[in-house]
Amino acid sequence: MSDLADLRAEIAKLSRLLGVDAKSLAFLEPAGWQEIRQLRQLVSDHFFGAGEPRLRNLAAIAKLVPVQVIVKLAPLVFEPRMGAGLASLIDEDKALKLVPKLPPSMLAEAVPYIDPRRVGPLAAKIPVEVMREIVPFLVAANEHAAMGQFIDYVTQEQLDGLLPYVDDATLLTIIETAENRDQFNSIMPLVSDVRVGRLITTAKELGQLPIIFELLEHVDPEIRAHTTNIAMNQSDSVLESFLIELAAEDRFDLLLSAIPLMGRSELIRLGRNPALTALPTLKSLFAAAGRTDNWAAAMRLVPLLPAASRAQLVASRLWSDPDTVRAAANTAFDHLDTEPELVVSFLQFTDGMPAEDRRLFAEPLAAASDQTFRRAVEVGIAFGGTGALLPLVGLLPQPRQAVVADITANLDTDQLRTALIDANDRGVLPDLLQVAAEMPREAREKIVTIIADNPDDDLLSSSGTPEHQQETWNGLLKLTDDLPSQLMSKLGEQATMLSLDDVLPFIVKAGQATGRIATSFTLLDEINKIAEREGVPVEFALPMGLLKTVTDSVGNIAGPDGVLGSLQHGLSSASSDGSSPADALVSVSLDLFKSASEATSKAASVAGEKTLSELAGEASAKVSGVAGKLFGFGKALRDAAVEAQKEQKEKSGGD
């Protein structure tokens, strides 16, 4: 129990020994209960030594007096103190014959004055039936401290026989005042699980939960875990009070030491209790983990905590201390083979974490040996930690990023799909796509196929911030570069299920941001085809800056001096009259194509190929077919430029 409880018990026992009021001994409290206990034992020895000669004479006479006579005289002659003094001097055989015949009330009055150091061995031989008659008198007199003194001497048989006759409140007080708490290991196996639950509930009702904590401190880990499991199965209010009091007493070390042996259902209930999920309690829990270097136990609870609670921990900047992060990381690395899920717990600490704190978590990963790092990544992904790992990848050195890409690329289809869904749910799908972009073509094709074949996974959902959606499309374009056209068609089908007003600008901007303009045009063309087939109107505003990027790209293909090289100038001039950028681009492009057609109308056709004028005519037709939109035009414009470059090389003189 707490030092205060021990102090109260020792003051009470000393006051009884001296025959004074306990309040008059308050001046001794600063000395502490250990010193007061030693003082009490010295006083007891002094009193006994002063009266021992006379008591020995009485004990010698008692050997000669028949038991029946002593039984009749004792209540009349022996006051409690004298009886307590004689108890250690009378022949043991005679004492064992006398005790069952003496009035229980008389024996109970003598117990508080008996020194267990002298009478303990005799107490262990008293029949259980006799002790059952004495206990009610001691309980009625609130002599809990006196009973607690004998815990070290009574046998398990006596305990087993007496416990049913001691109410829960009394048992709690006996536990509180017991002098030898090692005996709790003998007592607890004798108490049924039902009664342990009652004791915890009674302690909560009486405001005495610290007594339960004292009990937990002095029992073996197995008993502590079993008792804690029972606590986890009490009512919500009892469990909540249990956890709040643990935090208030700063005793979460007791709970942490029991966690490794707790059952799964108890751990789940613990992790979801409102008291534990509150920030003050969580901080107390992790402070105890740091103080006792028991991160493994605390980290077992992390996956069970609600996301809001983990977010509170992040916001509290608990993980802004490098030593704390390193300790947690080392714990996870040390348990890679025995408790691999601890790696996931370590990674999940970073959910919603500011970039500066996240770097602290990337550092131990970067500093780990190659073998440890690869194993940690493999374990983290295998146990569902992909979504938590991904935000750290960009903070790792390039060789380590390549390892993550390699491990992810070797996942099977089901594992990859699970990783994609987890990343999407955690809002880090763009991070996974960035990792995937560094994979070989076969792995990239597998990921895009998963996205394209599983629309119900909602991986291209328009939810999230515009920035997040843009990053997703940026990553997707990197993935789809040089992949089969049928995959682009499938992606186009998925895109048409979304809000095209939102999606189309994202695709075009992704082309500009990633340099995959041709890939973005291909995807836009697929979307347009499907939209036209389905009768879906396709309209969106295209920023002038993006159009300039498009024309730059086309100009680079055809050459700065080709017929398309002046497209930027024409676009700028045509848009000055207030036309929309898209309409301006289409208008100027058609004029340029017309001029190109007239300028090359006399050029000889290459066998089996089309002239620039024929290609230009096709481009004009496609653009007209989409009413001045960019989709088909972009692809046709690109193809026409490529062909123009070919033809220019084949001309003898060139115009």
Arithmetic mean of pLDDT, 243-262: 90
Q: What is the pLDDT of residue 3?
A: 73
254 sits in which H/E element = helix 252-258
Three state DSSP letters for 527-594:
HHHHHHHHCCCCCCCCCHHHHHHHHHHHHHHHCCCCCCCCHHHHHHHHHCCCCCHHHHHHHHHHHHHH
Place of tokens 């100038």: 569
Q: Assign residue 207 a region (left: φ > 0; alpha: ψ between -120 and 50; beta: otherwise).
A: left
Contact 461, 499 (CB under 8 A): no
Place of tokens 């102090």: 7
Arithmetic mean of pLDDT, 176-185: 82
Q: pLDDT > 90: what percent of the chain?
A: 17
Arithmetic mean of pLDDT, 404-418: 89
Arithmetic mean of pLDDT, 230-254: 92
* Length, in residues, of the chain: 655
Q: How does residue 541 score in pLDDT terms, banded at 50, 70 and 90?
A: very low
Q: Which stretches within 426-516 are classed as H helix?
A: 429-436, 441-453, 466-480, 485-496, 500-514
Q: Give the contacts of 508 (CB within 8 A, at least 6 positions apart).
A: 520, 524, 542, 546, 630
Neighbours of 159 (CB within 10 A): 19
Token pair listed for 535? 């009768």
Contact 388, 348 (CB under 8 A): yes
pLDDT above 90 for 204: yes
Q: What is the pLDDT of residue 559?
A: 43
pLDDT above 80 for 321: yes
Q: Give the contacts of 150 (CB within 8 A, at least 6 positions apart).
A: 116, 120, 123
- More confident position, 52 or 523: 523
According to DSSP, residue 462 is labeled S
According to DSSP, residue 651 is labeled -
Q: What is the pLDDT of residue 182?
A: 81
Which residue, 542, 585, 537, 593, is CA-closest to 563? 593
pLDDT above 70 for 452: yes
Angle between helices 429-436 and 386-393 (to 10 degrees): 70
Query: What is the rounded distance in angstroms from the CA atom of residue 54 to the CA atom of residue 470?
Result: 99
pLDDT above 70 for 552: no
pLDDT above 90 for 168: yes
pLDDT above 80 for 306: yes
Contact 149, 183 (CB under 8 A): no
Contact 198, 230 (CB under 8 A): no
Distance of CA 574 to the CA centre of its chain: 59
Contact 216, 254 (CB under 8 A): yes
Place of tokens 């004298």: 82
Token pair listed for 115? 């020194």
In this predicted structure, which of 77-91, 496-510, 524-538 has the lowest mean pLDDT? 524-538
Token pair listed for 650? 């084949």
DSSP letters for 280-348: HHHHHHHHHHHHHT-HHHHHHHGGGS-HHHHHHHHHTTGGG-HHHHHHHHHHHHHTTTT-THHHHHHHH
Q: What is the pLDDT of residue 212?
A: 93
Q: What is the pLDDT of residue 200?
A: 96
Distance of CA 281 to the CA centre of its chain: 14
- More confident position, 322 or 655: 322
- More confident position, 130 or 74: 130
Share the mean pLDDT of the chain: 78
Which residue, 470, 536, 458, 519, is CA-closest to 494? 458
* pLDDT per position as a tens digit, 575-625: 444 444 344 444 444 444 444 334 334 333 333 344 433 433 443 333 333
Given CA atoms 513, 587, 593, 599 in this order, what sign does their dihedral have?
negative
In this predicted structure, which of 8-17, 124-133, 536-545 has the lowest mean pLDDT? 536-545
Q: How does residue 503 score in pLDDT terms, banded at 50, 70 and 90?
A: confident
Contact 303, 341 (CB under 8 A): yes
Contact 429, 459 (CB under 8 A): yes
Query: What is the rounded distance in angstroms from the CA atom of residue 282 to the CA atom of residue 274?
Result: 11
- More confident position, 235 or 348: 235
366: burial class by Cβ within 10 Å (0-12, 13-18, 19+)?
A: middle
Q: How does residue 374 score in pLDDT terms, banded at 50, 70 and 90?
A: very high
Arithmetic mean of pLDDT, 232-248: 92
Q: What is the pLDDT of residue 645?
A: 52
Residue type, 420: L
Angle between helices 168-177 and 3-18 (to 10 degrees): 90
Arithmetic mean of pLDDT, 61-86: 81
Which residue, 429, 460, 646, 636, is CA-closest to 558? 646
According to DSSP, residue 654 is labeled -
* pLDDT per position as a tens digit, 431-451: 888 888 888 888 888 998 998
Distance of CA 538 to the CA centre of its chain: 46
The pTM of the whole model exceeds 0.95: no
